[in-house]
Structure 1
Amino acid sequence: MRSREEVEATLQVAKLNPAELLPPVQCLRFSPQAAAQECCLLQLEPELCAELEAGRSLVIRGDRDERAVLCSKDKTYDMKIADTSNTLLFIPDCETPEQLCADEPTSNITHIQIAGFSTNYWELRRCRPKLKKLKKLLLENPYEGPDSERERTSTHSKYTTEDLLDQVQASEEEIMHQLQVLKACQVEGYWRILDFDYEMKLLTHVTQLIYSESWPFNKVPLNICLQELGPLEPKEMIEHILVCYGMKYTDEGETYFEMDEEKVCRATAQMLLQNAVKFNLSEFQEVWQQSVPEGMTTGQEQLKGLALVDRSSRPETICLLNVEDLPEDNQERFNSLFSIREKWAEADIAPYIQDLCSEKQTIGALLTKYARSSMQNGIKVYNSRRPV
């Protein structure tokens, strides 16, 4: 335990003027239990500090074979250990200069124990949510309708919201948004993704009813759809497919849906392309237009991120290439794309890397980092920076 004389002697050795310092003295010493492994430091940006101060939680998610991420209610952060050359001390009872100034000036000496120490801390960096696993989990047991459900055994995997929050490395809001993108729905409390053939069966029922009743696509009445199609499929499934492919609104107390032409045409194209390795482009365009509901118009802009056109072949061809099926990691995504096609025009590759862009990153910046550009027939094309 240091005395006042020892403190003053130490100040003299350090060539510090006691008159320039606050009178109280805090002498630090290590607790017998202090250890480097007992405590961890986490560096938080002001937004995350405000989350905790408001009483909300931050959650660390990840299985043993995954790198941990930290999630707030709506954002996901990578966690990385950052080393520091200074030893960081945990001192629960130590007072800051601001706190000492608020006290009465005193010459007392207080002896304070160091509870722990660390030479590193966890650094957070905003990242994209890791949502591929969500689709993978739901595809273990796709929903094929009530008849198929009765034939299934109870051993098939099913996931509640809590199960998905526990296993998917993303925030709750990001997971719920992705469930909408995947057209997932809750069946008896479990999240299920619709089998694509069953999804198209439901959509066909709705579009055929619209045609038979001569309804405009922007005013499809919910109640009549449920009355007419209820005997064929569960009413909640009929309403779900209307939500997936339309926009809900109310007019004079009645609920209507405005069907989304692009979504309907896009789903029809996927149905046609999934059973063919390649399709003659002109023949596909003709069959596609004939397959969509009368009154809707197809266009290649509806196929961005879903189908790839090969204009170098004769005749031109088209094949299914869904961005949802590509790897989530940036380098793996580019490796996959360059294994499919050696050289890409920016207009062709853009729909397949758009989702990789962070808030401050552009498609051009991604291409500069992961691809090499050259000119081919007067058009700038991109190929891999490394052998694929």
Structure 2
Amino acid sequence: MESTDLLMESADKRDVRVKENVCEILELAGIKESDLNTVTQCLYSTQDHQVNDMILLEVDEDILKGLNQEDALSFRGNKHDNAMLCTQTRSYEVREAEISNSWLLVPNLKLGKATGIGEVAERTIEKHNVKRIFNLYYEVKETKPDLVRLSSLLNSSSFNGLEYESTVDKNTLYSWERLQNVLQASDQELKQALSDFLIAEIDGYLRLISFDVEARSFNLMLDYFGEQSWELDEVDKENTYECLNELIYKPVFDVIFKRYTEVSTKTKDNGDPLYKFDEQKCCAVIAKILLAASPVTEYKEFMETWNIGTPEKMQPKQEYLRGLALIMYNTAKVQKEVISCPEADLSNNIHDRLNELFEIKAKWTVEEITPYIIRFTKGVINVNALLTKYARCSTKNGIKYYGSKHGK
């Protein structure tokens, strides 16, 4: 039998246990000494010398895989937040759980075959100190990152132009490292959340570009594009910046240009890349500028103004308004209207957001509501799964609509 004796003693009896005592206990327990390996390990409780700076943490396969690949683990949040464990790519809630049987931490304890010492017939007595007795451990559950405060943190230090920098409170500025410390999210999740904003790194700090700066800078780029009579896929980045460098701060130019263009299939004569304006993103930001000036506009008037405000090589389309505005019929005025409804202004909680959306409009198609709830999808939980769980489906004229689960 590949087994060994484990005998627990208190510290004040550590010098009493000898081979004869072991044999006596085995006899009293009705255990044949020949059924056991020849090593008996005596465990001694040393309460005065126990390790107190250690916890037990249960991990899933993803955390274990990350640790084996030398991924970093960190607990994030402020001292008043509930603990959250973050890997490079995932976030986990951490909860305390009880252990039904106490677990002992015993360094150098031998197990199985290690307690057999060949042909030696004499029983060997070994003494081991129990370093820690565990009655609790911590379990983890993967969760969505807590990024509710991100928008307010970024807004408090937004970049409004070089002329206003002298008035900025340095305590409101956030570097990447500071955001990591105060926000409960993995690095990958935090970077993904930041990509939803227009962020420039200025003097080592992550700065949200204010909408006024974005609109002014973007319009300057489009005006220059129009003056050059380029095709949409023939935009010269270096030429554009050279002309506008006195009007647009370089870090701001870089992030705006990156947001609204992509690398073209065409190149310059020297082989350097040219860029292509993203029609949808460009038309959407122009619509956003118009909606900021007039949140409710008669549909035909809006579409005409929108068309005039975009370069002639771009064609505004109604679907470009998704996530920015709703097209609704005003029965009192007997007219169709474009109504500002920015996704970013809605609640960061899925329940509250859906309640807000269903107050604005009782019934939504999947296409209409998707831009407003897609940020809450994850893994197998897609838009349809969210709507099935939180909304009620109905059909009219063969079209599926979703409304409040508790509505009529």
Same fold (TM over 0.5): yes
Give runs of aligned pairs for residues 60-75 of structure 1, distance below 5 A: 60-75=75-90
State the partner residue of 1:261. 279
Distance 1:54 1:87, change over 3 A: same
Structure 1: segments with no counterpart, 5+ residues: none
Q: Does structure 1 conserve the Cα–Cα contact (< 8 Å) formed by 2:91 and 2:144?
A: yes
Paired residue for 1:336, among 351, 356, 361? 356
* Aligned counterparts of 2:252 and 2:372: Cα–Cα separation in 1: 31
Is residue 2:238 matched to residue 1:220?
no
Letter aligned with residue 259 of structure 1: F
**1:131 aligns to 2:159 (yes or no):** no
| Equivalent position of 1:287 in the other structure | 305
Q: How does 1:242-281 map to 2 (within 5 A)?
A: 242-248=257-263, 251=268, 252-281=270-299
Q: 8 Å contact 1:25–1:110 — kept in the other structure?
A: yes
Normalization by structure 2: what TM-score? Answer: 0.82
Q: 1:140 to 1:109 in 2, by over 3 A?
A: same
Q: Which has the larger radius of gyration?
A: 2
CA-CA distance at 1:290 after TM superposition: 2.1
Q: Distance in 2 between matches of 1:354 and 1:10?
A: 67
State the one-letter code of the partner of 2:152: K
Question: 1:62 offset after TM fit, Å?
Answer: 1.0
In 2 relative to 1, CA 236–378 (structure 1 residues): closer, same or farther, beyond 3 Å? closer
1: CA distance between counterparts of 2:60 and 2:113? Answer: 22
Q: How many residues matched?
A: 385
SS at match of 1:67: coil
Using a 3 Å threshold, how does the CA distance of structure 1 residues 90 and 146 change in structure 2: closer, same or farther? same
The equivalent residue for 2:193 is: 178
Deviations 1:211-239 (A, max 9, x none): 10111111211221122111222234323
Amino acid at match of 1:207: L
Work out whether residues 233 and 276 of structure 2, in 8 Å CA contact, stay in contact via their aligned partners in 1.
yes
C-alpha separation between the residues in 2 aligned to 1:186 and 1:172?
A: 17
Measure the CA separation in 1 of the matches of 2:398 and 2:46. 72
Aligned position for 1:318 = 338
2:379 pairs with one of 331, 342, 359: 359
Tell me the percent identity. 28
TM-superposition CA deviations, 1:87-119 (whole Å, max 9, x none): 233223323336546x65763232322222333
**Residue 138 of structure 1 contacts residue 193 of structure 1 at CA under 8 Å; is this kept in 2?**
yes
Contact 2:147 2:184 in 1 (8 A): yes
Distance 2:224 2:315 in 1: 19
Quick one: which amino acid aligns to residue 113 of structure 1? N
Q: Does the 8 Å CA contact 2:102/2:135 hold for their aligned counterparts?
A: yes
Which residue of structure 1 lines up, in the alignment, with residue 367 of structure 2? 347
Q: Which moved more, 1:309-318 or 1:77-86?
A: 309-318
Tell me the residue number matched to 1:117: 133
For 1:232, the equivalent position in structure 2 comes to 247
Does the CA-based 8 Å contact 1:222-1:239 persist in structure 2?
no
Secondary structure of the residue that 1:113 maps to in structure 2? strand
> Which is worse superposed, 165-174 or 46-55?
46-55
* Matched residue type, 1:347: E
Secondary structure, in 3 states, of the residue corresponding to 1:138? helix
Residues 1:379 and 1:155: Cα distance change in structure 2 (over 3 Å):
same
Q: How far has the Cα of 1:329 moved from its partner?
A: 3.1
Contact 1:225-1:238 at 8 Å conserved across structures: no
> Contact 1:140–1:156 at 8 Å: present in 2 too?
no
CA distance in structure 2 between the aligned counterparts of 1:98 and 1:76, rounded to whole angstroms: 40
Q: Residue 350 of structure 2 aligns to which amino acid in structure 1? A: N
Could you tell me whether the CA contact under 8 Å between 2:199 and 2:207 is conserved in 1?
yes
Contact 2:231 2:313 in 1 (8 A): no
Q: Distance in 1 between matches of 2:51 and 2:349?
A: 34
Task: Out of 40-49 and 158-167, give the one that drifted further.
Answer: 40-49
CA distance in 2, matches of 1:268, 1:246: 15
Bigger drift between 275-284 and 263-272 goes to: 275-284
TM-score between both structures, scaled by the size of structure 1? 0.86
How far off is 1:61 after superposition?
0.4
**Aligned residue identity for 1:330:** I
Shift in CA distance, 125/346, structure 1 to aligned 2, threshold 3 Å: same
1:177 Cα deviation from its structure 2 partner: 3.4
C-alpha separation in 2, matches of 1:304 and 1:104: 77
| Structure 1, 80-89 or 103-112: larger mean CA deviation | 103-112
Structure 1 Cα separation of the partners of residues 119 and 150 of structure 2: 60
